[in-house]
């Protein structure tokens, strides 16, 4: 019996951990695998534009569809859920278990991969399948990925339009007061253990910076550190943004917010400045980042501290580095 592709509900149950693994691995390999894309406007000297493409990351899948290449995509990773049309594509496994046999059976002439998937690219090369490796760790990486994929696929004008729209959608729009913000990107509702935060050098930190916010974990030793409750108390965020890759119905939002009552001395908790931003676009560094950017700005505007209540106004984090 043919295995049915996982539906959005099934994927959502596993997506947070998988996406965080992708983010962490992308951060660890940032700069190790630039695209080496051919010159603008063509797929390259003597290289035909691909007609059968496979993608092994949600951000890359979304980019291919945003470039109007949906008809050429024949297979995607298990965690790609957007746009809805992706449900009709063959599923090829996850980050650590790509199904090479199935991939080969689709007869692709291009695989689009992240730098963390170099091993997959090497195996595919041995099977005669070329790869395009693009990074999506920073906002600049994401924009370059649009152009690199578009050039390789022979749709350069579409890439330029997408990049221009992306830049416009992420234009700096700082809120007043330079609020000190914690970006929480991974924890289970009902507890404040095992928390992951987005630190400096991440696309989430860049978005916050364009909004004029100060990331209280900007100086962490890793880009997605695990942090404890004591560290959150010490960093004293004025706003906490809970960023989640799966839908959060009202009862879940209520639990996520209520959890923070364990830390009443944290300004964001005492003043009720906690926001949950949830959806399948939130942790995917791709074409839908402007949507997240708008949601983050709305949350900061609704929960910004009163003017002049900047706490430790210099924006420098308190002493003490978070644990990796």
The domain locations on the chain are 8-169, 180-303
Contact 231, 265 (CB under 8 A): no
Structure confidence at residue 255 (pLDDT): 96
Q: Going by C-beta distance under 8 Å and a sequence separation of 6 or more, which residues neighbour residue 320?
A: 231, 234
Q: Give the 3-state secondary structure of residue 176.
A: coil
Indicate the angle between helix axes 139-152 and 156-169, nearest 10 degrees.
Answer: 160
Q: What digits encode the pLDDT tens for the residues 43-88? A: 455 568 999 999 999 999 999 999 999 999 999 999 999 999 999 9
Cis peptide preceding 99, ω within 30 of 0:
no
Structure confidence at residue 23 (pLDDT): 52
Q: What digits encode the pLDDT tens for the residues 280-318? A: 999 999 999 999 999 999 999 988 776 544 333 333 333
Q: Going by C-beta distance under 8 Å and a sequence separation of 6 or more, which residues neighbour residue 115?
A: 26, 29, 30, 31, 32, 33, 133, 135
Give the integer Cα–Cα distance in Å for 192 and 129: 45
Residues of the chain with pLDDT under 50: 1-18, 21-22, 24-43, 308-324
Give the integer Cα–Cα distance in Å for 95 and 263: 36
Structure confidence at residue 309 (pLDDT): 42
Structure confidence at residue 315 (pLDDT): 36
Structure tokens of 254?
A: 């209520």
Instruction: Return the CATH number of the domain spanning residue range 180-303.
Output: 3.40.50.1980
Euclidean distance between the first and the last CA atom of the chain, given in angstroms as a whole number: 45
Longest dimension (CA), the chain: 64
Give the integer Cα–Cα distance in Å for 123 and 55: 15
Give the integer Cα–Cα distance in Å for 235 and 253: 23
Structure confidence at residue 11 (pLDDT): 37
Of the candidates 97, 12, 113, which has an alpha carbon nearest to the alpha carbon of residue 53? 113
Same CATH fold, 180-303 and 8-169? yes
* Domain 8-169 of CATH type 3.40.50.1980: yes
> If you compute the radius of gyration of the chain from its CA atoms, what whole number of angstroms results?
20
Give the integer Cα–Cα distance in Å for 287 and 307: 33
């Amino acid at each position: 019996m043919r295995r049915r592709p996982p539906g959005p509900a099934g994927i959502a149950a596993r997506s947070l951990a998988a996406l965080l693994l992708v983010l962490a691995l992308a951060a660890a390999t940032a700069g190790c695998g630039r695209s080496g894309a051919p010159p603008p406007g063509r797929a390259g000297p003597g290289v035909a534009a691909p007609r059968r493409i496979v993608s092994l990351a949600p951000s890359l899948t979304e980019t291919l569809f945003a470039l109007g290449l949906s008809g050429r995509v024949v297979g995607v990773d298990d965690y790609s859920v957007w746009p809805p049309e992706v449900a009709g594509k063959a599923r090829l496994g996850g980050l650590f278990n790509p199904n090479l046999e199935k991939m080969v059976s689709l007869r692709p002439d291009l695989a689009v991969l992240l730098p963390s998937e170099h091993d997959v690219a090497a195996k595919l090369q041995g099977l005669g399948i070329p790869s395009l490796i693009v990074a999506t760790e920073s906002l600049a990486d994401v924009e370059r990925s649009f152009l690199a994929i578009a050039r390789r696929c022979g749709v350069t004008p579409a890439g330029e339009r997408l990049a221009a729209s992306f830049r416009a959608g992420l234009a700096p729009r700082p809120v007043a007061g330079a609020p000190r913000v914690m970006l929480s990107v991974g924890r289970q509702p009902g507890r404040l253990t095992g928390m992951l935060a987005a630190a400096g050098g991440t696309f989430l930190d860049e978005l916050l910076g364009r909004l004029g916010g100060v990331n209280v974990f900007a100086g962490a030793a890793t880009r997605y550190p695990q942090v404890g409750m004591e560290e959150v108390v010490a960093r004293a965020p004025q706003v906490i943004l809970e960023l989640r890759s799966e839908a959060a119905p009202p009862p879940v939002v209520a639990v996520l917010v209520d959890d923070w009552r364990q830390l009443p001395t944290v300004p964001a908790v005492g003043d009720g400045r906690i926001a949950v931003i949830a959806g399948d676009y939130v942790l995917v560094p791709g074409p839908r980042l402007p949507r997240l950017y708008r949601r983050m700005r709305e949350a900061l505007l609704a929960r910004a501290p009163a003017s002049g209540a900047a706490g430790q106004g210099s924006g420098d984090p308190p002493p003490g580095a978070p644990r990796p």
